[in-house]
A and B are shown apart, each in its own frame.
Chain A
Amino acid sequence: MTAAAAAPQRRAARARWILLLLAGLAVAAGLSLAIGARSVPLAEILSALGGARDSVGEAAVALRIPRTLLAAAAGAALALAGAVMQGVTRNPLADPGILGVNAGAAFAVVAGIAFFGLSSVSAYVLCAILGAGAAAAAVYAIGGIGAGGATPLKLALTGTAVAIALSSLTTAIVLPRGDIAGTARSWQTGGVGGAGYDSLRLGLPVLALGAALCLGAARGLNMLGLGEETAKGLGSRVAATRALASLGAVMLCGTATALCGPIGFVGLVVPHACRLLCGADHRWLLPFSAIGGAILLILADIAGRVAMRPAEMDVGIVTAFLGAPVFIWIVRRRRAGALAQ
């Protein structure tokens, strides 16, 4: 009964990792409140958390609270969506940025602002989700053309091409329209600097619903990992899993993009790192990824704040710096042939 004896050990190890990650999240959030363009003494940080807004320092910290919350929520959403996309497509290179889903969401928001005069957060979120879904469907359809169907590399190439095309179109819409340039700029590169409680209040329930759909599909995703035929043979409803998980992922990417603009590579980096900690079981991998994504985006935002003081670098640029080497590492680690199949 080695199997039965070892399983609880593994579960305990995973539970320990979850606790460690949560502790890491708390530390990252604390750093995010403390570090910024202005140095604020600890006493003022604590008083600001208590609600005081008397000094300049306290006011600065008060601004960092929604920003930290947004970074955590968006990071969790993008990493969760990435893990789900990797599971649904059985593609290790899947990521909301690489597959063009975030670019589709950003394009839809900017187009909505320019052509339909959208100006409310709820309209942005709805538009972004529709755009994300349309981009995902288009990339999958185009990537599936030709021999071999939607292989990992073909899908990644298609997604990247679509992402570049969409962000060019987004720029083309914004450039001649000086009146919306200020508003639309946040959907050209992703950042969490403009966070406010209004958008959080609207976005968080949608993110929660998307996350619930993804977590509900965890067992189905495990089955999909065995390949469509084996999964069906074990009585798994493959089409339902794919539909639910994709819908959840699109809601997460769309909402995250509506709130902070397109942020890439979080969904690629975090699930791969988490797999090293907890293995391929999605019932663990998805929560691991959500917490890991929150930590990563908070840290990336802090890095963006201190890298070019007193100016700030958008978090979307920081994650691209982090993510590109990881992308290369994943491709090189597997033989290229395995990805092209």
Chain B
Amino acid sequence: MTAAVLIAEHLVSGYAGRRVLAGLDLEIGRGRITAIVGANACGKSTLLRTMSRLIAPEAGQVLLDGRSVHRMPPRALARQLGVLPQSPSAPEGITVAELVGMGRHPHQGVLARWSRRDDEAVAAALEATGTAALAERGLDELSGGQRQRVWIAMALAQETGVLLLDEPTTYLDIAHQIEVLDLLTDLNRARATTIVMVLHDLNLAARYADRLVAMAAGRVQAAGPPAEVLTAAMVRTVFGLEARILDDPVSGRPMMLPYGRHHARPAEPAPAAGRAATGARAG
């Protein structure tokens, strides 16, 4: 495996006495796309927020290139690791260029002067996300998909080697979801940016991630290439759902089709509760 750029060691973390992560270990490969999946409230977002220092762990540590992120000066960390929260908000009336320019904050000193270097980084970020034409528009005027691209542009202007995203495709229609994930893949390939994202859609996660991390109850349940991690057994353990795993004819990655209580064809023997494993075929 490639050297790990980000390592979580025995991480215990949560909010105001409610423990969410219970001694979690995880390694994030450098230059890879990692997708974190799991049921609601399993600790995905908490993991992302602890790794990006938005919350402090009760125990354990997060190492970025061997240094504890919770001991680094904030700006130094922000030059190496970017994070895009789940539904970020911006002040009324801010323009796209202004917002993307905010990404330069960690690169500016206390008595900051906007430099040519900042201009170049903003222009490159707008270019890469296809938002250059929107630069002078107000953020409020844009569609959800455009807005998400602008937020990603802001994170790009930050020029970090590692980018963490909490559900970057939430609230987007399927075309815009694909657009955002394609964009992140482009960045990963063009700039070798390490990308870690929380995703809800297992099939998109399996298609776009080099490595899938399945979480349950504050621990890593399975981690590895999608073909190894996305199995009927994993879906059952992590989501409590019966599913069939097929080869995605488009990508060749595994894809998951869930069984519910309705709409299964008679020819498809839906697994009865209790002897579940027999019906589903592991991919």
Q: Using A3-B126, A281-B98 as known contacts, say yes or no to A234 and B85 having CB atoms under 8 A apart.
A: no
A3 touches B78 (CB 8 A): no
Report chain A residues within 8 Å CB of B122: 3-4
A-B CB contact pairs (8 Å), 5 listed? A4-B123, A232-B53, A233-B85, A275-B93, A279-B94
CB-based contact A2/B135 at 8 Å: yes
List residues 79-127 of chain B with CB under 8 A from any CB of chain A.
79, 82-85, 88-95, 97-103, 105-106, 112, 119, 122-123, 126
Within 8 Å of chain B (Cβ to Cβ): is A222?
Answer: yes
Give, as a whole number of angstroms, the nearest-CB distance from B100 to chain A: 8
Q: A2-B136, A225-B91, A229-B88 are in contact. Are A235 and B97 (CB under 8 A)?
A: no
Contacts of A222 in B (CB 8 A): 102
Q: Is the CB of A235 within 8 A of B119?
A: no
The 7 closest A-B CB pairs, nearest first, are: A235-B78, A3-B97, A235-B75, A225-B91, A235-B106, A233-B83, A280-B91
- What's the minimum C-beta distance from A142 to chain B, rounded to whole angstroms? 19
Which residues does chain A contribute within 8 Å of B75, judged by CB atoms? 235
Known contacts: A1-B123, A234-B106, A235-B79. The answer to whether A229 contacts B93 by CB under 8 A is no
Answer whether residue B132 sits at the interface, using C-beta atoms and an 8 A cutoff: yes
Residues of B within 8 A of A (CB): 49, 52-54, 73-79, 82-85, 88-95, 97-103, 105-106, 112, 119, 122-123, 126, 132-133, 135-136, 158
Q: Are B93 and A234 neighbours in the complex by a CB distance under 8 Å? A: no
B100 to chain A: which residues have CB within 8 Å? Answer: 3
Contact among A219, A230, A236, A280 with B112 in the assembled complex (CB-CB below 8 Å)? A219
Contact A234 B97 (CB under 8 A): no
Shortest A16–chain B CB gap in Å is: 18
Closest Cβ–Cβ distance, residue A234 to chain B (whole Å): 4
B125, closest chain A residue (CB): A3
> Which residues in B have their C-beta under 8 angstroms from that of A226?
88-91, 99, 102
Task: Tell me the residues in window 289-317 of chain A with beta carbons closer than 8 Å to chain B beta carbons.
Answer: none
Q: Across the two chains, which residue of chain A brings its CB closest to B89? A: A227
B88 contact set on A, CB distance < 8 A: 226-227, 229-230
* Bound form: Cα–Cα A72–B53 in Å: 44
B contact residues around A230 at 8 Å (CB): 83-85, 88
In the complex, the answer to whether A6 meets B97 with C-beta atoms within 8 Å is: yes
In the bound complex, residues from chain B placing their C-beta under 8 Å from that of A280 are 91-94
Q: How far is the CB of B70 from chain A (nearest CB, A)?
A: 12
1/0 per residue A1-21: CB within 8 Å of B?
Answer: 111101100000000000000
Question: How many A-B residue pairs lie within 8 Å, measured between CB atoms?
Answer: 89
User: Which residues of B have CB within 8 Å of A237?
Assistant: 74
Contacting pair B119 A3 (CB below 8 A): yes
B229 to chain A, nearest CB (A): 28
- Give CA–CA (A222, B133) in the complex, Å: 24
Chain A, interface residues (CB within 8 Å), range? 20 to 34
Known A233-B78, A280-B91; further 13 A-B contacts with Cβ < 8 A: A2-B135, A3-B132, A219-B105, A223-B105, A225-B94, A226-B91, A226-B99, A230-B83, A232-B53, A233-B82, A234-B158, A235-B74, A279-B98
The docked-state distance in angstroms from the alpha carbon of A281 to that of B105 is: 14
Task: Find the B residue at minimum CB distance from A1.
Answer: B123
Give min CB distance, B5 to chain A, whole Å.
17
Q: Which B-chain residue is minimally distant from A221 (CB atoms)?
A: B91
Instruction: With CB as the reference atom, state the residue of chain A lying closest to B74.
Output: A235
CB-defined contacts of B84 to chain A, threshold 8 Å: 230, 233
CA distance A227 to B88 in the complex (A): 7
Contact of A234 among B49, B89, B102 (CB under 8 A): B102
**Once bound together, how far apart are the Cα atoms of A4 and B136, in whole Å?**
10
- A275 / chain B contacts, CB cutoff of 8 Å: 92-93
Q: Which of A9-50 contact B (CB under 8 A)?
A: none
Q: How many Å from the CB of A284 to the closest CB on chain B?
A: 11
Question: A213-227 interface mask toward B, CB cutoff 8 Å, 1 = contact, 0 = none?
Answer: 000000100110111
Most buried by B among A1, A230, A236: A230
B54 near A232 with CB under 8 A, answer yes
With both chains docked as a complex, state the minimum distance between the C-beta of B53 and any C-beta of chain A, in angstroms.
7
The answer to whether A7 touches B97 (Cβ under 8 A) is: yes
**Residue pair A236, B74 in contact (C-beta under 8 Å):** yes
CB-based nearest A residue for B96:
A3
Q: What separation, in Å, do the CA atoms of A227 and B94 have in the docked complex? A: 14
- Would you give the shortest CB distance from B203 to chain A, in whole angstroms? 28
Question: Cβ of B73: which chain A residues have Cβ within 8 Å of it?
Answer: 235
> Measured between C-beta atoms, what is the minimum distance from B44 to chain A in Å?
15
Complexed CA–CA distance, A3 and B133 (Å): 9
The docked-state distance in angstroms from the alpha carbon of A157 to that of B112 is: 38
